[in-house]
Structure 1
Amino acid sequence: MLARNGKLRPKFAEASPTDPGLPTPAERAAITFPAVKVSIPGEDWHRKHLPWIRLALLMIGDDDVGMTERFRDMLGWDEPTIADTLEGIGSTKNHLEGLVEALNACMTRSFIVLERLGYDPEASAA
């Protein structure tokens, strides 16, 4: 559930004196949200972002000595290589952060709507 501080709560609950940040059922029922228009990544998404993800995973597999060697080798390549690498990884990071934000919004909105419909996640888990 969404608390007043904007954090997602994992289950529906009543407000209590021990958790004053949790909205009351009436406050949750009054929550509205607009539709958000987004562009869905096309087929070329993987060509643009996966190489940077793979490179980042390779790089974090290096210890400081290995990463130093990796960058020392890159310094001998064409000048824009390091800048392009850092820009590509940074751009992909920003893109993925946006996707995480969209997923969080989807989860929050889902909890709000499901609660209005009377869905109880604990009852369905039994």
Structure 2
Amino acid sequence: MRYKYLDPDHSYTNPKTGILRNLANIENQEFLTVFENLNVARRLEELYLKPIKIKGAETLLDIHKHLFQDVYAWAGKIRSVEISKEGKQFFPKDRFTTAFAYIDSLIAEYRKIKKTDKKGIEMMQ
């Protein structure tokens, strides 16, 4: 599958190839996809064996960093520019603050639930 990223400043994409800048300097999308899949699968297995405890929305960045640390230098960081793939915009960068606040509020509400009630919630998933 070939993706076209729209990144006007080329902060995340190689201006020559249009693919995501990566730590291995791969300039072929198919090779990058395989490289990313292999590395993320290995890191995902590590998370399965030793999960990262969710403390707040910022933990999502920790998980992203863990999964993509071998592939992208920007893993675990909030994007500094807008980017889209095939004309579909990724989550707008100026919305992260609001989104993280909302996620933190959901986590706070979850923590208020009695432990006995949490078991019922976990069974429903």
Considering the TM-score relative to the shorter chain, is it more than 0.5?
no
Tell me the TM-score normalised to structure 1 length: 0.23
> Which has the bigger relative contact order, CA under 8 A and spacing at least 6?
1
Structure number with higher strand proportion: 2
Tell me the TM-score normalised to structure 2 length: 0.23
Larger radius of gyration: 1
Structure number with higher helix proportion: 1
